[in-house]
Amino acid sequence: MSGITASISSAGNALEVLEQALSVIQNNIDNSSTPGYASQRLNLEAMPLDIAGGLVGGLRADGLDNSRDQYAEEAVQSQTQLLGYYTAQAQSTGTIQNFFDVSGGSGVSAALSALFQSFSAWSTAPNDATARQNVLAAANTVAQSFQGLANSLTQTAQQADGQVGSTIQQINSIAAQIQQYNVQRMQSSQPDPGLDAQLYSALGNLSQLTNFTTVTQSNGTVTVLLGGGTPLVIGTQQNVLSQNVSVDTQPPPVYAQSLPTDHVLDSQGNDITSEITGGQLGGLLDSRNRVLAGILGDSQQQGTLNQLAQGMADTINGILQSGTVSAAAGAANGAALFTYDSNNPATAASTLALNASITPDQLAAVDAAGNANGNANALAALENPTGAQGTIGGLSYLQYFGQIAAGAGQENATATANAQTQQQLAAQVTSLRDQISGVSLDKEAAAVLQFQQAYQATAQVLTVLDNLGQDLMNLIVPV
Amino acid sequence: MADGPRQSIEHARRGVRKALQQWNAADLKSIGESRVLLEQSVTDIKLAIELLRNGDTTMANGLQPSIASLRRDISTMTRLVDACSAFHRGLSLRLGGALPAYDASGMPVKEPEIRPAHGLVG
């Protein structure tokens, strides 16, 4: 080949390659706001130049490089999973918390206070018909308050079940997209940036919903494993998840008629609920199966609200039934003030009611020893008990309810604080991912070291601050 | 400079809050500025401790909520820095050619257990 021909050929070749490079750049610009898209770079290789030997030089395109960093992608997914978890937990526990009036001005707390006041008024006038009637009215309000709270919380549990169901549907839908990606990936010999962007966008959406890990196979397909290792997508196969809301049978239920538990099942019907510990689904399941179940009960626990309802009803009924309606010889024993479904203690709060057959005359003010207002006094004393009677775990009924309410509030406060912190963490890691995207990390090793040193220096100052903060607190609250 | 333990604690709290708000893990200059703010907060807290130790005991009244809030912000900032640190620790291990020993949250990496995939639909 002559020199001029070789030069023209080389220049033509170079133009062709540069046109490809421009096309890649244009593609990057067009997709700059495409979710999940990572910029591409065309590798250009100089060809040997030896005119005499027939080597015309010029440029050769040597494949596309992807700026995506798998480690950074996983870091963002990991933080997004936590953000989804805490956000769902905060919203869900916020709803639960709203049903508790910690001020004591309304609800169960106010009703209990009014009942104890009615006992107190009755103890000073044990034969007064109005005082007796007031006791019945206050007891009715207490029963309605317990029922109302239990029903509201049960409805919240049912709404959470609905949210869990729709989240599982979203997960299945995204898993189907990933499965389709794998099908297409297996059909093409080269990575497709557009397809790749769709995959990472889908994984980003999935990370908001549940915890998972991914493994890229040698054929380019992506395997998605749920937290515990159960596959969600393997190659062209999808494990379709489903929901089951039922009372646990393993271990055998202690409370067969309790609030059912929310379960996530794989396509074989295996219970994989315990593997879901992240994302929106993890947060919803935690609030539903742990926080709400702690209050309303499940197959293995009675629930704190039911414990309170049953304990209070049994104690008050026990006192009244041990006494008599008057001090006269042969006077009838008192009637129970409350009823509930004693066969199902895990429904005590929702079935608590004023004894439908009781009349004011059947209230027994006289205690077993014959004291005219002994029972009424004993009932009034339940507001601030001095012995074991009228307590649960050493707390009065009012204090115990306060503890349930405070527990719900604490759950919400913790979840809200975690969600706020996680919001910042997720934003930071996304920023770090974007920072390293498109640069050669091997060439940037020195910068990575610099950042590490900067973080370390900051962490040391924070350690000092933390210790000083502790010292400061110890100064005003001596340990 | 603040003139009482309450003012010193408030000053420290504002410093930590500002460091938290302006922290940008991808910008060395911003990291440096946050550290300066935190160092100023160290000075403020040391001053508050000194004033409380040597002053009237009534000076401590009502300080608990401010200190609790300050400690919450310190805790949040620590988590933030730890997460960024873990991220770069993972990066540097990868650059070093070694297998990553930590994941992005700083926990040791373990291979996921893969269960037999029965009943997969294709």
Cβ atoms A449, B104 nearer than 8 A: no
- Is A395 in a helix, a strand, or coil? strand
CB contact B9 to A (< 8 Å): yes
Kindly state whether B11 is in contact with chain A, defined as any CB-CB distance less than 8 angstroms.
Answer: no
Residue range A338-391, pLDDT digits in tens = 999 999 999 999 999 999 999 999 999 999 888 988 999 999 999 998 888 899
A6 in contact with B at a CB cutoff of 8 Å? no
The full length of chain A comes to: 479
Of A114-123, A274-283, B63-72, B113-122, the least confident: B113-122
Give the pLDDT confidence score for residue B111 in this predicted structure: 47
Question: Measured between alpha carbons, how far is A19 from A159 in angstroms, rounded to an integer?
Answer: 57
* A264 in Cβ contact with A271 (< 8 Å): yes
Instruction: Considering only the beta carbons, identify the residue of B24, B38, B88 that sits closest to A455.
Output: B88
Residues 73-92 of A with CB under 8 A from B: 74-76, 78-79, 82
pTM of the model: 0.76
For residue A433, what is the nearest residue in chain B, using CA coordinates?
B26
**Residue A452 is nearest to which of B9, B74, B89, comparing CB atoms?**
B89
Question: pLDDT-based confidence at B122, cuts 50/70/90?
Answer: very low
Amino acid of residue A19:
E
Q: Are B22 and B33 in contact (CB under 8 A)?
A: yes
Q: What Cα–Cα distance (Å) separates residue A95 from each residue in A162, B7, B106?
A: 15, 37, 33
Contact B84 A455 (CB under 8 A): yes
Q: Verify whether the Cβ–Cβ distance A230 to B115 is below 8 Å.
A: yes
Between residues 112 and 171 of chain A, which touch chain B (CB distance below 8 Å)? none
Identity of the residue in B85, B90, B122 whose CB atom sits nearest the CB atom of A459: B85
Compare CB distances from A458 to B38, B88, B100 and report the shortest one's residue. Answer: B38
**Candidates A179, A229, A267; nearest CB to B115:** A229
Number of CB atoms found within 10 A of residue B62's CB? 10
pLDDT averaged over 10-residue windows placed end to end, chain A, 479 residues: 57 61 60 60 61 62 64 88 96 94 83 95 93 96 97 96 97 96 87 83 95 89 90 94 94 92 95 95 97 96 97 96 90 95 96 96 92 92 89 94 94 93 89 72 67 86 93 80
Cβ distance A428 to B28 less than 8 Å, yes or no, reads: no
What ipTM was assigned to the predicted interfaces of this complex?
0.77
Quote the CA–CA distance of A338 and A320 in Å, as a whole number.
10
Is the distance from CB of A83 to CB of A419 less than 8 angstroms? yes
Tell me whether B50 touches chain A (CB under 8 Å): no
- Does residue B81 sit at the A interface (CB-CB below 8 Å)? yes
